[in-house]
């Protein structure tokens, strides 16, 4: 059973969902409130197009619910060949609006161990070239980059397609190359608090993958663990990594995790979480981000379309269940 994430490839502050002001119960302390970094909101996201379509069809109430997603900054997933043009376009659009793009590098060889989101580069050489192109696209414009969701946690779990030494070397290459770009913040993915419950299992793999040279690590990407659980887990992992900072994906964790089977894959009854912000109230948590794009499928489970495809009914449920 996959206990990781259902990963699809694919604004204004608020308190949608549980977890707003999560620093208060995170176990990582409270920091002075700093000015928020305004992350870029894609005006042509699946949620934005859906809201417009429903307005034209007279589904005004549903369109208003969909605005809860469309008005929030969501990450852009780079999951195919030739990333430079998209990276450059997104960071340029963000810079033009005085905002910061959030991007995901998702092209590691044997990605997702052949599961719902399989794919990626065909060789180590191709991956390094891909990362070089991604970095060139960033230029000097601001961006938060999440590096390879699931890559470390899956290697620990024992994917038979992955040679851990090669994977960690490729991740370290990605971290080092992306960190060379000014105004880019790099966060290496570290799975979620339910996948490897003992965070110390990640210390050596993350270290080999270059986390010491990254701005920090990312937790809960495309998963549903609460902000409080991620904060506690991240604090312990940070302590073992010399005080590294981290970011939390709060896109769909407003109701916490599902307790049934395949809890990672399009689980029912979930809700949007705290809106993207750098005002976290906790000194180790750099931001809450919507890394997973709410409404994009985790895969062909529970009647969903293929991973990364827009699923209006699921998006609507997430928005309807959100508090705020």
pLDDT at 5: 56
What is the arithmetic mean of pLDDT over 297-301? 94
Per the residue annotation, which of 112, 189, 249, 286 is the catalytic one?
A: 112
Sorting pLDDT into bands at 50, 70 and 90, what band is 33? Answer: very low
Q: Which of 42, 62, 150, 286 is catalytic?
A: 150
The string over 10-29, giving b where at least 16 C-beta atoms fall within 10 Å of a residue's C-beta and e elsewhere, is bbeebebbbbbbbbeebebe
Which residues is 76 bridged to in the sheet? 103
Residue 189 appears among annotated catalytic residues: no
Of residues 113 and 61, more confidence is placed in: 61
Average pLDDT taken over every residue of the chain:
90
Q: Among 183, 179, 104, which residue's Cα sits nearest to residue 141?
A: 183
Asked about 2 being catalytic, the answer comes back as no
pLDDT the model gives residue 36: 62
Is 118 a residue of the active site?
Answer: no
pLDDT in tens, 248-276: 999 999 999 999 888 999 999 999 999 99
Angle between helices 312-321 and 60-70 in degrees, nearest 10: 80
Catalytic-labelled residue, pool 42, 62, 227, 298: 298
What pTM was computed for the model?
Answer: 0.90
Please check the confidence at residue 15 and state whether its pLDDT lies above 50.
Answer: no
Comparing 16-25, 31-40, 59-68, 118-127, the range with the smallest average pLDDT is: 16-25
For residue 186 the two structure tokens come to: 């790099």
Q: How many separate helices (H) and strands (E) can be counted in the chain?
A: 9, 7
| Nearest by Cα to 254 from 8, 16, 7, 14 | 16
Sign of the four-CA dihedral 122, 126, 127, 131:
negative
């Amino acid at each position: 059973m996959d206990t990781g994430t259902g990963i699809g490839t694919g604004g204004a502050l608020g308190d949608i969902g549980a977890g707003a002001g999560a620093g208060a119960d995170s176990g990582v302390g409270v920091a002075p409130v700093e000015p928020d970094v305004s992350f870029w909101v894609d005006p042509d996201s699946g949620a934005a197009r859906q809201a417009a379509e429903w307005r034209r069809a007279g589904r005004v109430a549903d369109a208003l619910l969909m605005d809860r997603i469309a008005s929030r900054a969501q990450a852009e997933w780079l999951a195919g060949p030739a990333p430079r043009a998209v990276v450059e376009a997104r960071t340029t659009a963000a810079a033009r609006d005085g905002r910061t793009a959030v991007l995901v590098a998702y092209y590691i060889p044997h990605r997702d161990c052949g599961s719902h989101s399989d794919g990626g580069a065909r060789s180590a050489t191709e991956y390094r070239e891909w990362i070089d192109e991604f970095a060139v696209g960033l230029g000097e414009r601001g961006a938060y980059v999440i590096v390879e969701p699931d890559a470390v946690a899956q290697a620990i779990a024992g994917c038979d397609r992955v040679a851990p030494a090669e994977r960690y070397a490729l991740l370290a290459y990605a971290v080092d190359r992306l960190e060379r770009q000014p105004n880019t913040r790099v966060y290496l993915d570290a799975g979620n608090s339910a996948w490897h419950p003992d965070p110390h299992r990640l210390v050596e793999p993350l270290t080999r993958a270059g986390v010491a040279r990254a701005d920090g690590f990312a937790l809960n990407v495309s998963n549903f663990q609460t902000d409080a659980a991620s904060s506690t887990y991240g604090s312990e992992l940070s302590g073992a990594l010399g005080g590294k900072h981290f970011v939390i994906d709060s896109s769909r964790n407003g109701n916490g995790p599902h307790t049934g089977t395949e809890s990672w894959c399009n689980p029912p009854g979930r809700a949007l979480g705290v809106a993207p912000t750098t005002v976290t109230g906790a000194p180790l948590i750099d931001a809450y981000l919507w890394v997973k794009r709410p409404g994009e499928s985790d895969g062909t489970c529970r009647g969903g379309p293929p991973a990364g495809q827009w699923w209006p009914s699921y998006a609507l449920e997430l928005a309807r269940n959100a508090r705020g």
